[in-house]
Structure 1
C-alpha cells in the first residue's frame, strides 16, 4: 500500500442528500490538508455525474475524488477501471453502504482525513453484464422501492423516510423463483454483493479484496420471513445465516421467474437474467490506513 496522491480532481453530486452543503466544505478541507485540486465541479443533475467523472479522469489526474451516495460511486468507478488514476470518495448519500464497507467516516472532515492520510490499495468491483458496480446489487423489494420512492424523500427525510417507504412497498411485494447456475430455490430477496453493507446495514460476510462475488438469497415464500431476516441482521450477518442461502465464487448466471428488475447500488439499471462476476483488483482506492 502507498500514500494517496497530493493532486486530485473533485466531482460532487450536488443533488445527493448532503451535496450542495458539502461541496464548498470539501474544497476547503481538502486544500487545508494539502490536497491540490486540479479541478473541482459540483454537478447539479445526477444524470450528468458519470460524464463529469469521465471527463475528469480523461485529464489523467493522479486521483479523482467523487462525492455522493452509493449510486454516484457505482456510476463513477467504470471510468477509473484500466487507468492509473486513484479513486477516493466522500460519502454524501443516505445509506453510504460502500463507505461503511471500507470503514470510511461518514462525516466530510473524517472522509477528507482518510483521503489525506489513508493508504492506496487495490480493491475488487462487481460486474453485471459488463457494468461495474462498487458495493451491492439487489433483486426483490429494493428495486421496487428504488423505482417508486418519491423524488426528494431520501434527501429531506434520510434513512427514516426511506425505511417508511420500504414498509409501505411490502404490501406490493411478491416472492419469486431464483435460479443460480442451474439451481432453483424460492426467494424473497437477493443481494449480489461485493461489499458487506446494503441499505446501511451489514448483511454479508465478505471483503472487497477476496476475489469473489457473493449471491445471497433470503429463502422462502412468506413475507414475514423477509422481515424476520431483516430483524436478525440488526444483530449481525451471522445471526441471519439460517434465513439465507449463499453462493460464493467468481461468476454466476442469475435468472428469476418472473424476470425482475435489478437495482445496482440503489439505481434500477437492468433486469434478469444476467451474468454477475467479480473483477479482482479492478481499481486502486484510498482507504483508512
Structure 2
C-alpha cells in the first residue's frame, strides 16, 4: 500500500475507558485538529472495547481510510486482523500502559505529539507473527512473562504502570518451575531445553520497554528468539534484565538467541502463551511469520535504515554514512540513558558520572546535529519515553538488589565499549573537517566514562 492509496479520511476510534479527561469535554478536538490541519477529513467514534473498534472498522470504513486506534498493545493486537482484512491503515495512538508497539514505531509517548509525528510520516508494511491461530505484532512469551501476567497487581498497575510488570516478573522468577521443552527453529533439528523463559519477538520492544536486539524490526522478515536457561540464577537473571534494558542479548552469556521464520515448541502442554500483553494461546505452539501484511502510518524516524550510499537526491554525500549515522544516534541515546539514571543512582560516583556525561554528550550531539544536517543525518530519534521507563526499572532493581548500581555500571560500560568500537571503525581523516573535532571529543568522553564505570564494577 502507498500513500497515494489513501482516501483522505481519518477515523478516530477511542475507547471510553482510555479517553483523556480533557478530550471528554470537547470531543477530542485537539486530536482532530492534528489531522485536519494535515488536510484530512476526520470522524470520531467512541467505543466500549476493542471488539467495538473492530466492528466499526469492518462496518464503517473503506479501503485506504486511516484508522487511529487509541490504546495499548493489547488493543493493537485485538485489531490487527481486522485492519488487514479491511485494507485500512493503522495509526496507533499510545494510550495504554506499556505501548511497546508505539515505541517500536518511534512514536512519542504523548498522544498529540505521537499523532502529529505519524500523520506527517508515511505508510509502511509490517510483518505479523502468528502463534497457533493467533496473531501478534510485538512478542510472544512462554514461561516467566506468561506466568507473571496472572500476578500483576491491578492497583499497582493503575498507580505505577510499567513498574507492575517488573514486580510480577520478579515474583514469577522466584517461584515458577522451569519448563522442559523441545524447540526447533527453521529447519534445524529440535533442541531439548530446560528454560525459565522463551520469547519470540517480531517488534523492537516487549514487556514495557525491553529490547532484546538492537537490530530487530517488525519489517525485517524474521522472527527472533531468545531463551533463558534454568541454570541462570537470580543475580544472573538481573544481568539479563540489564542487557535487555541496555539494548541486546545477542552476545549474552546468560541467554541463547535464534533467528528464523518458523518455530515449533512442544512440552509443558497447556502452559500459557503471552503475546502483546495478553494470554492468547497455550503450548504446544507453532510460530510463523506473515511478512509485510500490516499497513501502518509511521513517523519518518521509523525509517532509520541507511546504507553508505543512501543520501537522498539534493543532499550532500558523506563517507561511511551508515556508521556516522549510528554513532550520532547512539550518542544521543546514551545521553538520555545517563540522564535517566541520575535520579535513581545511589553511588555518588555513578551519579556524578551520569550527570556530567549526559551533559557532555548532549553538547556533542548538538554539534553532530548542526554538522550533519546537510547530509540528512541522523535519521532517527532516541527511544520515546525512555526517561520514565529507565527510571521505573532502575527503581525496581534498587528495591530488589543492594548492588543495582554495580549492574547498571556494567551495562553502561558495555554501552561505552560498543560506541568506542564504532568510532574506532571510522576512517576519521576521510570525514569533513568540521565533523572530525566533535568525533575526537566523543571518543575521549566515552573512554573517560567507560573507565569510571569499569572501576564501579
The alignment's C-alpha RMSD in Å is 2.4
> In 2 relative to 1, CA 167–26 (structure 1 residues): closer, same or farther, beyond 3 Å?
farther
Match of 1:213 in 2: 223
SS state at 1:196 partner: coil
> In 2 relative to 1, CA 21–195 (structure 1 residues): closer, same or farther, beyond 3 Å?
farther
Alignment partner of 1:190 out of 192, 198, 204: 198
Alignment partner of 1:154 out of 149, 152, 157: 157
Alignment map for 1:218-257 (pairs within 5 Å) = 218-224=228-234, 225-238=236-249, 241-257=252-268
> In 2 relative to 1, CA 257–31 (structure 1 residues): closer, same or farther, beyond 3 Å?
same
How much has 1:167 moved relative to structure 2?
2.6
How much has 1:223 moved relative to structure 2?
4.1
Separation in 2 of the partners of 1:36 and 1:12? 17
Greater fraction of residues in strand = 1
Match of 2:10 in 1: 8
SS state at 2:162 partner: helix
User: Which consecutive residues of structure 1, in runs of 5 or more, have no partner in the other structure?
Assistant: none
Separation in 2 of the partners of 1:42 and 1:169? 37
Match of 1:43 in 2: 47
1:214-264 deviation line (CA, Å, top 9, x unaligned): 222122334413322112222221576332222222211122336411111
Match of 1:143 in 2: 146
Which has the larger displacement, 178-187 or 5-14? Answer: 5-14
Work out which of the two has the higher radius of gyration on C-alpha atoms and give 1 or 2.
2
1:55 lines up with 2:61 in the alignment? no
How much has 1:152 moved relative to structure 2?
4.4
1:9-64 deviation line (CA, Å, top 9, x unaligned): 22223434x755567253454344443223x23334xxx31342233243234111
Normalising by structure 2, we get a TM-score of 0.57
User: Which consecutive residues of structure 2, in runs of 5 or more, have no partner in the other structure?
Assistant: 185-189, 301-457
Separation in 2 of the partners of 1:240 and 1:14? 44
> In 2 relative to 1, CA 218–73 (structure 1 residues): closer, same or farther, beyond 3 Å?
same
Separation in 2 of the partners of 1:22 and 1:151? 25
> In 2 relative to 1, CA 176–118 (structure 1 residues): closer, same or farther, beyond 3 Å?
same
1:30 lines up with 2:35 in the alignment? yes
Preserved contact between residue 134 and residue 280 of structure 2 (Cα < 8 Å) = no
Separation in 2 of the partners of 1:104 and 1:5? 23
Preserved contact between residue 178 and residue 185 of structure 1 (Cα < 8 Å) = yes
How much has 1:87 moved relative to structure 2?
1.1
Match of 2:137 in 1: 134
Separation in 1 of the partners of 2:96 and 2:193? 34
How much has 1:278 moved relative to structure 2?
0.7
How much has 1:137 moved relative to structure 2?
1.0
Match of 1:70 in 2: 73
SS state at 1:230 partner: helix
Alignment partner of 1:172 out of 170, 175, 195: 175
> In 2 relative to 1, CA 56–257 (structure 1 residues): closer, same or farther, beyond 3 Å?
closer
SS state at 1:79 partner: helix
Greater fraction of residues in helix = 2
Preserved contact between residue 122 and residue 298 of structure 2 (Cα < 8 Å) = yes
How much has 1:112 moved relative to structure 2?
0.8
- By relative contact order (CA 8 Å, sep 6+), the higher-ranking structure is 1
Alignment map for 1:111-126 (pairs within 5 Å) = 111-126=114-129
Preserved contact between residue 86 and residue 284 of structure 1 (Cα < 8 Å) = yes
